[in-house]
Amino acid sequence: MSLGQHLVELRKRLTRAGAAILLAAIAGFIIAEEIWRELSRPLVRIAEEEGREAQINFTAITEAFDTRMLIGLTFGIVVASPFWLYQLWAFIVPALHRKEKGYAIGFLAVAAPLFLAGCTAGWFVFPNIVVLLTSFAFDDSTTFLTARYYLDFALKLIIAVGIGFVLPVVLVMLNFARVLMGSSILKSWRWAIIAIALFTALATPAADVLSMIVLAIPMVGLFFLAAGIAVLNDRRVERREAKLAASYGE
């Protein structure tokens, strides 16, 4: 294709992806109140279990609308992700070689479910984190949170955990690209466990041990799975290179 044809193709793909996100975002805007009700459940637990008043406040005229918009947009991006990822893939794939296409398909096929699984794990630990952190408030105090801050905290936590679940896939891709050796990944298992512990401690602050364990176990398992795949790939590459060297020697 010429440069102009590439730009036309890009515009077509972006238009389709944008339309899908917009339609899903409209649906998310409509059901934003139900989503917000689920996000707000930890504050109900605070009132019931601790007998303290806990409220979410809208401190600006546009904050309620902005909050609904952000919920709708986030919902739209997540729900429409299979479609807009396909559009992105359809635009890039003509430029890839056969081997690169295989790597890209494998990465998307594994990374997308792991990211959603991580976001799901973040969603389930989020209420415990809110209850735990707000429990440090002094007696007879009241917890007032702005809606935008509360939503930002929830989204950052959920997305951070989702990204954490995808990192082992990145290690495998680096190994397939011959940037990292499987043995190097495996030898760094102690540092990896420390890094995972620090990550889960940050994602589940205030030493919520149960939530840390819930997040850390699958992440450690994914790390060792990635290391194992990398080691097997290294052995496969070594056997192939040995055969090539033997054939050249003959």
Residue 108 has pLDDT above 60, yes or no: yes
pLDDT (tens digit per residue) in 209-225:
766 777 788 888 888 88
The Cα–Cα gap between 105 and 93 comes to 10
Half-sphere exposure of 21 (CA within 13 A, CB side): 18
Q: What is the pLDDT of residue 153?
A: 84
Q: Please state at what angle helix 147-176 crosses helix 98-134, rounded to 10 degrees.
A: 150
> What token pair was written down for 238?
């070594």
The Cα–Cα gap between 93 and 173 comes to 17
What one-letter code names the amino acid at 28?
G
At residue 96 the predicted structure's pLDDT band, cuts being 50, 70 and 90, is low
Q: What is the pLDDT of residue 25?
A: 92
Mean residue pLDDT of the chain comes to: 80
Where do the DSSP E strands lie in the chain?
A: 54-57, 143-146
Q: What is the pLDDT of residue 30?
A: 93
Q: What is the pLDDT of residue 229?
A: 86
